[in-house]
A and B are shown apart, each in its own frame.
Chain A
Amino acid sequence: MTEIFVLAEHRQGQIRDITFEMLTKGKELAEKTNTDLTAVLLGKDVKEHAKTISEYAKKVFLVEDAKLENFNSEAYQKVLSNLTKEHKPLLTMIGHTSFGVDLAPSLAAALKLPLATDCIDLAFEGETLVITRQMYGGKVNVKAKVRKSESYIVTVRQAAFAAQKPNISGETMEVSSPLTEETTEKRFIEYVSPPPGGVDITAAEVLVGIGRGIKDESNMPMVEELAKALGGVLACSRPIVDKGWLSTDRQVGSSGKTVKPKLYIALGISGAFQHVLGMKNSDLIIAVNKDSNAPIFSFADYGVVDDLFKIAPALKDKIQELKG
Chain B
Amino acid sequence: MNFELNEEQKEIKRAVREFCEKEFTPELALEFDEKEEFPMALYKKAAKLGFTSMRLPEEYGGQGYGLLEDCIVVEEVCRVDPGLGVAVSLGNLMVPDILLKHGTEEQRKKYIPPLARGEAISAAAFSEPEHGSDITRMDTTAVKSGNEWVVNGSKEFITNAPVADTFIVLCQTDPNATPSHKGQSIFLMEKETPGMEATKLKRKMGIKPCITGSLALSDVKVPKSNLVGELNKGFYYALELFNETRIAVAAQAVGMSQGAFERAFQYAKTRKQFGSPIIKFQGVSFKLADMAIKIEAARMLTRKAAWLFDQGRLDPTATSMAKAFAGRAAMEVTDEAIQVYGGYGYLADYHVERFHRCAKITEIYEGTTEMQKLTIINRLMKTM
List chain A positions with a Cβ less than 8 A from chain B. 215-216, 218-219, 309-310
Specify the main secondary structure of chain A where it touches its partner: helix
Of the listed residues A216, A218, A219, A310, the one surrounded by the most CB atoms of chain B closer than 10 A to its CB is A216
B180-211 CB contacts (< 8 Å) to partner A: none
Contacts of B25 in A (CB 8 A): 215-216, 218-219
List chain B positions with a Cβ less than 8 A from chain A. 25-28, 31, 349
Q: How far is the CA of A320 from the CA of B25 in the complex (A)?
A: 27
Contacts of B349 in A (CB 8 A): 309-310
Q: How far is the CA of A218 from the CA of B32 in the complex (A)?
A: 12
Shortest Cβ gap from B151 to chain A (Å): 41
Contacts of A309 in B (CB 8 A): 26-27, 349
The chain A residue with its CB closest to the CB of B21 is A215
Shortest Cβ gap from B46 to chain A (Å): 16
Q: List 16 A-B contacts (CB under 8 A).
A: A215-B25, A215-B26, A215-B27, A216-B25, A216-B27, A216-B28, A218-B25, A218-B27, A218-B28, A218-B31, A219-B25, A219-B27, A309-B26, A309-B27, A309-B349, A310-B349
Shortest Cβ gap from A67 to chain B (Å): 47
Shortest Cβ gap from B110 to chain A (Å): 36
The 9 closest A-B pairs by CB, nearest first: A216-B25, A215-B25, A219-B27, A216-B27, A218-B28, A218-B27, A216-B28, A309-B27, A310-B349
Shortest Cβ gap from B22 to chain A (Å): 9
Shortest Cβ gap from A293 to chain B (Å): 12
Contacts of B28 in A (CB 8 A): 216, 218
Given contacts A215-B26, A309-B27, 14 further A-B contacts (CB under 8 A): A215-B25, A215-B27, A216-B25, A216-B27, A216-B28, A218-B25, A218-B27, A218-B28, A218-B31, A219-B25, A219-B27, A309-B26, A309-B349, A310-B349
Contacts of A310 in B (CB 8 A): 349
Q: How far is the CA of A219 from the CA of B27 in the complex (A)?
A: 8
Q: How far is the CA of A286 from the CA of B26 in the complex (A)?
A: 24
Shortest Cβ gap from A216 to chain B (Å): 4
Shortest Cβ gap from A2 to chain B (Å): 52
Q: How far is the CA of A118 from the CA of B313 in the complex (A)?
A: 61
Q: How far is the CA of A215 from the CA of B349 in the complex (A)?
A: 16
Contacts of A218 in B (CB 8 A): 25, 27-28, 31
Q: How far is the CA of A218 from the CA of B27 in the complex (A)?
A: 8
The chain B residue with its CB closest to the CB of A219 is B27
Q: How far is the CA of A310 from the CA of B350 in the complex (A)?
A: 10
Contacts of A215 in B (CB 8 A): 25-27
Q: How far is the CA of A143 from the CA of B28 in the complex (A)?
A: 43
Q: How far is the CA of A215 from the CA of B24 in the complex (A)?
A: 10
Q: How far is the CA of A215 from the CA of B31 in the complex (A)?
A: 14
The chain B residue with its CB closest to the CB of A217 is B25
Contacts of A219 in B (CB 8 A): 25, 27
Shortest Cβ gap from A139 to chain B (Å): 18
Q: How far is the CA of A218 from the CA of B28 in the complex (A)?
A: 8
Shortest Cβ gap from B353 to chain A (Å): 16
The chain B residue with its CB closest to the CB of A305 is B270
Shortest Cβ gap from A304 to chain B (Å): 15
Q: How far is the CA of A218 from the CA of B26 in the complex (A)?
A: 11
Shortest Cβ gap from A44 to chain B (Å): 48
Q: How far is the CA of A309 from the CA of B27 in the complex (A)?
A: 9
Shortest Cβ gap from B352 to chain A (Å): 14
Contacts of B31 in A (CB 8 A): 218
Shortest Cβ gap from B81 to chain A (Å): 13
Shortest Cβ gap from A171 to chain B (Å): 58
Shortest Cβ gap from A263 to chain B (Å): 25
The chain B residue with its CB closest to the CB of A307 is B349
